[in-house]
């Protein structure tokens, strides 16, 4: 009996201990409520592991947007002109004409001392070559172009060099008005050559615009055609102009215009094939630099320029580089006949500048300027063709 009672008491004790250890239902609820904040704090990092990349990307995107909004309006305009619009090709060509117009103004009104023309050409070609080389290196493009484009680049350099040297010869042997008018036949010839070589469609409206612009050039220079005109032979040339060789110089000038038209077509073909218009500028500079250097040494008396002349040549070289790059970009994006018509904008702007400075407005040049401006503005208004967009 005693043993049985001891066993029952032990069982009762064990039962009491178990009951004491097991909490009641309200206690469980209170414990869970107390531990709930701790559990939520532990689970939050587990959720953030999968979303940690998203909060980090959003600030970067916001920084980008802030940076883009802080970009100057000038930079945005340059980017838009270069390739952000369907009118980019026409705008680049117009900008090229503006750069050439600025060069004409600087050479005409801010010249310091007479520099031989071949010496100036060599300096300008050297600057163009260096800047285009830096451009290609910066953009990590092949310096000598892609393999399948090198033949086009070499042909473009040869045609451009022939055109430039022919113009230099004609402007030394002919009155400046005649040499300039002959050089302005290049856009017309470029459109015809593009129809033959590149199989571009030459619309009647495009050719009519070119014809009107060229007629405007003839009206601008009508007075100079009737006068003997001035020659640039005295600027560093040791050979005076010979009247007996007038026809020969005219033929060379026209040959240079034909070569210039072919060069425009090759610029368009090589720029589209390589997708890099600066490569066409660099290839031309690589060939033009040594040729102009040798011609300057053999055919001219070299002149040591002053500091002011060196500064002006550097500025002109920079403007020439920008003009060539914009012209190549325009030909890359737009067909030749439309881009070529915008080259006449230079003649109209120069004439307007002379009228504003001299205060004299002859009837013929005014009509010529208006015809050119109407023709070029119509080209910009019509815009690119659908097949080139």
| Domain residue extents for the chain | 2-56, 71-388
Distance CA 341, CA 380 (A): 10
Among candidate residues 288, 28, 236, the one with its CA nearest the CA of residue 114: 236
Mean pLDDT: which of 4-18, 111-125, 250-264, 347-361 is highest?
Answer: 250-264
Q: What is the pLDDT of residue 5?
A: 52
Q: What DSSP letter does each residue of 32-69 carry, written as one string?
A: HHHHHHHHHHHHHHHHHHHHSHHHHHHHHHHHHHHHHH
Least confident of 1-5, 49-53, 133-137, 145-149: 49-53
Structure confidence at residue 325 (pLDDT): 95
DSSP single-letter state for residue 386 = G
CB 271 within 8 A of CB 277: yes
Mean pLDDT of 263-286: 91
pLDDT tens-place string over residues 336-355: 999 999 999 999 999 999 88
pLDDT score for 87: 87
Q: Is the pLDDT of residue 313 over 80?
A: yes
Q: What average pLDDT does the segment 151-171 reach?
A: 93
pLDDT score of 244: 57
Helix pair 278-299, 117-138: axis angle to 10 deg: 150
CB 372 within 8 A of CB 345: yes
Is the pLDDT confidence value at 236 over 50?
no
Mean pLDDT calculated for residue range 305-315: 89
Share of the chain above pLDDT 70, in %: 74
Q: Mean per-residue pLDDT for 121-136?
A: 94
61 vs 192, more confident:
192
Q: What are phi and psi of 241, to 5 degrees?
A: -70, 140
Buried b (16+ CB within 10 A) or exposed e, 280-317: bbbbbbbbbbebbbebbeeebeeeebeeebeebbeebb
Higher pLDDT, residue 317 or 113: 317
**Would the pLDDT of 149 be above 80?**
yes
pTM: predicted TM-score of the whole model, two decimal places: 0.75
**More confident call, 27 vs 245:** 245
pLDDT tens, 41-54? Answer: 544 444 433 333 33
What per-residue confidence (pLDDT) applies to 44?
A: 46
235 torsion bin: left (phi>0), alpha (psi -120 to 50), beta (else): beta
Which of 125 and 53 is assigned the larger pLDDT?
125
pLDDT score for 282:
94
Sign of the CA dihedral 286, 288, 290, 293? negative
Nearest to 196 by CA among 128, 261, 281: 261
**What is the residue whose two structure tokens read 């163009």?**
128
Q: Which structure tokens are listed for 111?
A: 């010249």
- Measured distance CA(17)–CA(314) in Å, rounded: 102
Q: State percent of the chain over pLDDT 90.
A: 43
Q: What is the mean pLDDT of residues 170-183?
A: 89
pLDDT of residue 299: 86
Tell me: the pLDDT tens digits for 239-251?
Answer: 444 455 778 889 9
**Distant-in-sequence, close-in-space partners of 143: CB < 8 Å, separation ≥ 6:** 133, 136, 137, 282
Q: How far out from the chain centre does Cα 31 lie?
A: 74
Q: Give me the pLDDT at residue 234, please.
A: 40
Token pair in block for residue 250: 């005219």
pLDDT at 34: 54
For 92-106, 143-157, 318-332, which range has the lowest pLDDT when averaged over its residues? 143-157
* Least confident window among 75-79, 111-115, 236-240: 236-240
What Å distances lie between residue 216 and 344, 348, 372, CA to CA? 9, 8, 6
Residue 118's alpha-carbon distances to 125, 168, 297, 300, in angstroms, are 10, 8, 9, 8
The Cα 264–Cα 280 span in angstroms is 10
Q: What is the pLDDT of residue 176?
A: 84
């Amino acid at each position: 009996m005693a043993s049985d009672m001891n066993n029952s008491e032990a069982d009762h004790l064990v039962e009491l201990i178990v009951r004491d250890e097991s909490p009641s239902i309200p206690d469980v609820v209170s414990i869970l409520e107390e531990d709930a904040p701790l559990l939520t704090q532990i689970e939050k990092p587990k959720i953030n592991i999968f979303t940690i990349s998203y909060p980090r990307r959003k600030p970067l995107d916001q920084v980008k947007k802030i940076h883009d909004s802080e970009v100057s309006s000038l930079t945005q305009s340059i980017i838009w002109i270069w390739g952000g619009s369907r009118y980019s090709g026409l705008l680049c060509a117009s900008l090229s004409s503006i750069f050439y117009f600025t060069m004409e103004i600087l050479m005409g009104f801010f010249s310091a001392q007479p520099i031989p023309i071949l010496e100036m050409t060599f300096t300008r070609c050297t600057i163009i070559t260096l800047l285009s080389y830096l451009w290609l290196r910066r953009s990590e493009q092949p310096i000598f172009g892609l393999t399948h484009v090198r033949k086009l680049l070499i042909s473009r350099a040869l045609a451009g060099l022939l055109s430039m040297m022919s113009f230099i010869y004609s402007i030394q042997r002919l009155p400046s008005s005649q040499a300039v008018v002959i050089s302005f036949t290049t856009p017309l010839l470029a459109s015809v050559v593009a129809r033959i070589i590149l199989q571009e469609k030459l619309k009647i409206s495009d050719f009519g615009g070119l014809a009107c612009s060229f007629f405007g050039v003839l009206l601008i220079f009508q007075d100079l055609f009737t006068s003997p005109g001035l020659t640039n032979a005295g600027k560093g040339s040791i050979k005076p102009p010979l009247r007996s060789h007038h026809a020969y110089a005219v033929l060379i000038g026209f040959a240079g215009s034909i070569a210039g038209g072919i060069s425009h077509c090759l610029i368009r073909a090589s720029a589209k094939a390589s997708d890099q218009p600066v490569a066409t500028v660099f290839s031309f500079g690589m060939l033009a630099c040594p040729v102009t250097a040798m011609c300057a040494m053999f055919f001219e008396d070299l002149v040591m320029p002053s500091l002011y002349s060196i500064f002006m040549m550097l500025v002109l070289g920079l403007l020439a580089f920008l003009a060539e790059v914009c012209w190549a970009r325009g030909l890359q994006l737009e067909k030749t006949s439309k881009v070529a018509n915008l080259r006449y904008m230079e003649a109209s702007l120069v004439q307007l500048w002379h009228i504003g400075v001299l205060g004299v407005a002859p009837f013929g040049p005014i009509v010529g300027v208006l015809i050119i401006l109407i023709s070029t503005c119509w080209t910009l208004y019509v815009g690119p063709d659908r097949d080139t967009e």
